[in-house]
Chain A
Amino acid sequence: MKVLESAPDRYDRGIRILTFGKLDKSYDRLASHIKSGHKVLDIGCGTGALTLRAAQKGANVKGIDVNLRMLEIAQKRAREMHVAENVEFCEKGVAELDGEGSENYDIVMSGLCFSELSEYEVIYALEEIKRILRPRGILLIADEVRPKSLSKRVFHWLIRLPLGIITYILTQTATHPVENLPEMTEKAGFVIESVRLNRMEDFMELIGTKPGE
């Protein structure tokens, strides 16, 4: 029990190795929905992978995360990319979304965050996101999910086990893939626009909208 140090410095590199660079492409696809002038919230922004993409498109972005050290790195990167005026970082968890005003954002996005939450937290987060999104606002999620078919699930675990150990050594966090993400999103009152699964069926890009009045 002596693994005390969280390791944000190694996080980016670790994740890139573990996802074989595919995460970047996925984030680019999600960011293509963001337009200049949009007001965007990035939940679990970490070192700012999605936040900075949105800021480069000219959106006004707020990134929240519980890890202060990660946010420091994100802030530094924002300065290096000359988008610091467009972004704001805040040490906050999903349970602290109630501080955000209602119908305040055009887009709420989250990459690799829901898989670190408990089921209760995911339900709570989705409800809060619905509240803070403007009508017809967009929800963008990219995350690990549990494959539906048994054979893929077995295959997934075979690959995941060694990767999980590496992830743990690099980042000292363990994630658990989200189950029934589209169902939960729908239940929270979103309209699912598209769901994109990778071939392994263990990574999902989900786009939903909040219905208009």
Chain B
Amino acid sequence: MKLLNYVAVNTIETLLRVIPIPCKVGMLTIGNPGRSSPVFLTCNYHLTVKRVKRALRGIDCYLLVANSKGHNVWCGATGGHFTNHDVISVLKTSGVNGLVDHRSVILPQLAATGIESDHIRKRTGWKIIWGPVYARDIQAFIKNDFKKTIEMRVVTFPLASRIEMAIMWAFPFSIIASLITICFWPEVLLPLNVLIWGLPFLIFVFFPLYAKWLNPEKKGVNFSKYTVIFDFGRTPLILWGLAMSCLLGFSVLTNSFAWPSILRWGFIFLVVILIVSLDLMGSTPTYKSGLHEDRFLKVVLDERKCRAAGFCEQVCPRNCYEVDGSRHTATMPGAKKCVQCGACVVQCPFDAVYFMGPDGEILPPATVRRFKLNLLGKRLKAAEKNTGLSL
């Protein structure tokens, strides 16, 4: 019965993945925790909590659910919906303070772009341990004495996740398109839905095959990997215009000109172009954001300031860093893989890593901590203006 419920929730919420679904904020008790049991913290996206609870089965612990307004950990933390305030609030108001003797809380690694461990420790006395990226690794993480292996730190985009993305992309489209077509062109319902479901599956399933030819470094206007071909904006409209004029030309030449069919085909073209070009723009922990100016930023490691604290290595979703504890230095052998998420910049206690713009301008870590991706890739501009907010 429990399994059935779990499968049902996973299915429904995967279909509705584009919508943030919040659940209750507060503290959950799992098993029979005692005064030295571990404390975990996650966001209040309903599906996340469901999955984390399942991953924690058999462990006696407390699970704190912080208010991310129903967003998942990565989107919430990186986009400014899951913040320091939410973590401080749940630590202070949930009553966990009186239940355990220690003051260590395990957070999902992907929250590191938005939650500042230093700030949380100063305000609450709680020390953040950056746990694994995926909830399924939690059991192994505990067995490994609360230490992460490389596999637990790196974000991947396997077939299962890609199919999940295709579903979340196709479902809302198919609902909207079906509602429209059922009114004025019911016979096309089935082929249109096959198209709407087929295209995202093709796009996502074969992503690794063509990904290497898409170059986000290109300085063209808004070229994006996720938009697959073009970003939504002028280009898709031109494309749509082209398709429409071909259609018009064809119908005039073959002497079969009729407005209804022109309108209908115009609608189909629009749907197709929207599917391949709209969204999936944005920053992900696996691939560079193609849309935002952020993709031109470079992470610079200041070796004089670095004291090999190792936070960068712990939070990097791309495994760019290598920390040598004995020589007290960190290096970036994987700098090429960087996706500019900024987690290392936010976490470094010595401000030894910072962003540098294409023309050599420096973005102070304080600015990045303040705005994170809230500026939607406008961090560069913030640096130029050096927006000293008068607060």
Contacts and interface: CB of A to CB of B under 8 A. Distances in A.
B88 A1 contact: no
Interface stretch (A35-43, A66-74, A189-197): A66-74
A114 interface: no
A6 B89 contact: no
A2 B224 CA distance: 15
A118 B25 CA distance: 6
Interface size class of B (residues with CB under 8 A): 35 or more
B85 A68 contact: no
Interface stretch (B71-79, B173-181, B259-267, B305-313): B71-79
B254 interface: no
A4 B89 CA distance: 21
A87 to B, nearest CB: 11
Given A1-B72, A5-B376, A95-B92, A72 B17 contact: no
Contact of A1 (B18, B24, B86, B390): B18
Contact of B85 (A2, A96, A118, A119): A96
A211 interface: no
Most buried by A among B69, B70, B93, B390: B93
Contacts of B95: 120
A120 B90 CA distance: 8
Most buried by B among A4, A5, A68, A119: A4
B71 A118 contact: no
B89 A121 contact: yes
A50 to B, nearest CB: 18
Contact of B79 (A4, A75, A92): A4
B391 A71 contact: yes
Contacts of A124: 92-93
A185 B85 CA distance: 23
B370 interface: yes
Contacts of A172: 69, 81
Given A66-B83, A68-B370, A3 B20 contact: yes
B17 to A, nearest CB: 7
Q: 3 smallest A-B Cβ distances: which pairs?
A: A4-B79, A95-B89, A93-B85
8 contacts: A1-B18, A1-B72, A1-B75, A3-B79, A4-B79, A4-B374, A96-B88, A98-B92
